[in-house]
Amino acid sequence: MPAEAAARRVAELREALELHNHRYYVLDDPLISDAEYDALLRELEQLEAAHPELASADSPTMRVGAAPAEQFATVIHRAPMLSLGNVFDAGEFEDFYARVATELESDTVEFAVEAKLDGLAISLTYEAGRLVRAATRGDGTHGEDVTANVRTIRAIPLRLRGAEAPALIEVRGEIFMDKAGFTALNERQAAAGLKTFANPRNAAAGSLRQLDPAVTASRPLTMYCYGIGALEGGPALDTQAGTLDYLGALGLRVSRDSRVVSGCAACIAFYEDMAARRAALPYEIDGIVYKVNARSAQDRLGHVARAPRWAVAFKFPPDERETRVLAIDVQVGRTGALTPVARLQPVFVGGVTITNATLHNADEIARKDVRVGDTVVVRRAGDVIPEIVRVVLDKRPPDTAPYELPSTVPDQERARLVQAIIHFASRRALDIEGLGAKIVEQLVTSGLVTAPDDLYRLEAETLSGLERMAEKSAANLVEAIARSRATTLARFVYALGIREVGEATAANLARRFGSLERIAQASVEALEDVDDIGPVVAASIHDWFADPANAALVERLRDAGVHWEEGVASGAADGAQPLTGLGCVLTGTLSAMTRDEAKHRLQALGAKVSGAVSKKTSLVIAGAEAGSKLAKAEALGVPVLDEAAFLGLLDDPASVSRWLPPPPTA
């Protein structure tokens, strides 16, 4: 075909394929069959191969994926990708609505409302109508460049359609996998003998972050757009509803489950309607998003930390399902404590298939009277941890019997040792990378490790003889074990696995006494004088160090080279640390350090770091994607520091007074 005719036909084919992509993936209203679409695409591929000069980055043929990348580049967002505060019941939403109405001096506030998709936030940048970059949310300021992968998602146009394209537009939205696509993907994975995904969100996140775009291209991803981060050369958009209409006019996919409602009662009615329809929707949602509709009102309300004050997510309550208790097994902890675990008939709850739920202890079993054979109601506590809520007594079989927790189990000492070594090597203890549960099982079963200090005598040649342990992996593990010799006093105390001594208690002990010898020699009374340590914990610590076998273990670990920097005891009267007595809570993601590092920095300054916000909380540090803790802090009036303010506090701890309310006057 002559070059001029080929160019015309290529342009025709691209226009036709873009139209059919839009009708199929955006409007759900196809005009032609899959076979007809494939024939057009093949013709275009053949013409582009015969005429390389006609190749274009935004051609429909480019959706098959680029070459695999070694890693994702970092992208700085033009404007921060803020997260949303959460509310969990009608009362909390009414409080949010009342605050907004008061600040806007209006009895009735108009909101744009839409379903909260359970997917992955994404930023798409179009220049002169062409997709030039796609980035994940990341920490809200920095994201990952996933442009090559996003180009493979057919619901996302490579060129904007319809209305005249602006010079630049950064579109915000959610990439997700609908229920049908998720089911089909898992069926393919299972048929190929590959690991299946727990829920659509995990499947979407894993699919988008593939280093090989061809893998992403094979996954059924789609997208809904919900906002604009930057706009140059476009119309003035006065409302959130108008923004969605504009995005739709550009050929971008927007949710059909969005409305504009006025007044608190109408907002709650929309929530209740969507909750009733939730199971029938073709995709997973976990709540409703409310945004003040008028842009001028949004600007007036502003934002705090990393969340806008003009928007909120009203989350659905935890999903609850019935299932049956197949058995009750006993797990052995690192201290030898026995924990009963209910083995459940698999049930899909809150996006995850649950097969086990801890019953904690004998008292918990007795309180709930859980028996083998019972039908029980299960949920994911905090949308994370599986738990049995209650027994459905009407469905109890007549031949069940109360469960009695045994005092011992077969091979209990070996199981205890395995858990103790796993704890010793865990990330918050000695942090031995690569020493997972399966390797520990082999080391203990083979007799290579009978106590934590044996780890430091392992050699790569010995480890390479273990199952699934190649020479390189063995050498890496030996290096990781060697690196763990340099630690901190707090980590070492936590790693010892003393009953009742968690990470915070270990940090308090290290800060108070300054050296392991002073901790070991402390009386029960002196231990009780440490923050958050009562009689039971104090006795447990004292008894552990009084045991000659434990003292010998500590000496062997020191002989093996495990060491830490010791300091001066702070003492009760010393109290010179600037954050002493303050209760702090961390929420969200920090870009400058991990949450663990931030926690240790705060504890080193004397602060108590807890996981829950209450009226007694002094400060909340909110990183990106802060959730319910941030919302609760704002509701209680607890001071909130964003990451920049937090880093300033670490640099100048004495400045903490600027964040705290003034002391009451006499």
Angle at 244 between CA 231 and CA 208, to 5 degrees: 80
347 by DSSP, 3-state: which? Answer: strand
CA pseudo-torsion sign 112, 115, 118, 123: negative
Active-site entry in 116, 291, 629, 632: 116
Angle at 79 between CA 75 and CA 82, to 5 degrees: 100
Q: Is 116 a catalytic residue?
A: yes
Q: Which amino acid is at 538?
A: A
Strands 352-358 and 338-349: antiparallel
Tokens 């395995």 found at: 418
| Rg (alpha carbons) of the chain, rounded to whole number | 29
CA distance 292 to 99: 12
Strands 120-127 and 168-176: antiparallel
Name 430's Cβ contacts closer than 8 Å, sequence gap at least 6: 424, 484, 487, 491, 492, 495, 562
1 by DSSP, 3-state: which? Answer: coil
Fill in the DSSP letter of residue 254. Answer: B
Name 29's Cβ contacts closer than 8 Å, sequence gap at least 6: 23
Fill in the DSSP letter of residue 162. Answer: S
CA distance 553 to 336: 17
Contact 578, 612 (CB under 8 A): no
Residue ranges of the alpha helices (H) in 174-255?
179-191, 200-208, 213-217, 240-249
Q: Which of 23, 22, 21 is nearest to 61 (CA)?
A: 21
Q: Which of 639, 636, 633, 643 is nearest to 662 (CA)?
A: 639
CA distance 199 to 150: 20
Contact 340, 328 (CB under 8 A): yes
369 by DSSP, 3-state: which? Answer: coil
By annotation, the residues acting in catalysis are: 116
